[in-house]
Amino acid sequence: MEQDLKMMYGRLKRWSNGTDYYLESLNYKWAFTKKIIKVAIVFHIAFFLAMGAILSYYSNHNPYTTPLMVYRLYVDGYKIKPVKFIPFQKIPDDIKKMVVSIEDYKFYKHNGIDIEAIKRAIVINHKVGYRMYGASTITQQLSRTLFLLPAKSIIRKYVELLIALEMEMILDKDRILELYLNYCELGKGVFGIKNASYYYFGRNIYQLSTDEKSRLLAILANPILYSPYDFKNSKLITNRYYILKFRYYTYNKYRSMLQYAYHD
């Protein structure tokens, strides 16, 4: 009997020691987790405050340069052309409509992120077997252009989402589209639609035909590898071009014919 009691005591003691070790380990992990949470909260607050100050400044001022421009200059070795800024009111209306229709047709309805577009892109890309469609809104693309570097990662995507959400709270939609069209990358060292117009066609954006505008905006999907006259090897950009051309080039052509017939 005494021997059995000693064995039971030994087992209880080992169990107690094991339990104490487990609880200590659990407490340590929870304390460490709380520290991580506190650090994350402080980081997010600081990030939102700093980004809020910058975005508030950008509501009335135009960036002189961007991290992407600096990266293209010093890492890729591109010669960066200074941005030729066009105020929103002077940007051709068809350019605005074409960009919204091909890049983010819910632009004036969402709050920076389009969940439905993300779901749709996943389904379509899975069906075709490659990344044919993206799901980034114009606001997200502007977030990348103004604040981030081109290297893809989960962290960058997360920061992009945070910036997009805050950008929608501080800037109005027209200002976001204005900045997007003036700072979007459209070639090696080429930023903004006005620079791109002179670079590719030798003329002001106001003088371009609808077909030329369609070609220019089609390459927004990959402006480093392709140009307005060299994208036939890309199914994505070719598809974008024909969508734009069908929606606007053909429409405007037949609208003019109908107006001419009506006046006769």
pLDDT above 70: percentage of residues in the chain: 77
Does domain 59-263 fall under CATH 1.10.3810.10? My reply is: yes
More confident residue, 132 or 158: 158
Residue predicted with more confidence, 175 or 253: 175
Domain boundaries, the chain: 1-58, 59-263
20: pLDDT confidence band, cut at 50, 70 and 90? low
Confidence of residue 261 (pLDDT cuts 50, 70, 90): very low
Tell me the average pLDDT across 118-143: 74
Query: Which of 201, 205, 210, 202 has the alpha carbon at shortest distance from 192?
Result: 205
Q: Considering the entire predicted model, what is its pTM?
A: 0.80
pLDDT band at 260 (very low <50, low <70, confident <90, very high): very low
Dist. CA 244–CA 96, nearest whole Å: 12
DSSP class of 91: S
State the pLDDT at residue 258: 43
Q: With 80 as the cut, is the pLDDT of residue 251 above it?
A: no
Percentage of the chain exceeding pLDDT 90: 53
pLDDT given at position 8: 53
Q: How far apart are CA 261 and CA 185, in angstroms?
A: 41
- Indicate whether 187 pLDDT > 70: yes
Q: Which two tokens stand for residue 259?
A: 């107006």
pLDDT at 112 (0 to 100): 85
Q: At what angle do helices 193-201 and 210-218 cross, to 10 degrees?
A: 110
pLDDT computed for residue 214 by the predictor:
93
What mean pLDDT is reported for the chain? 83
Q: Is the dihedral of CA 69, 112, 182, 47 positive or negative?
A: negative
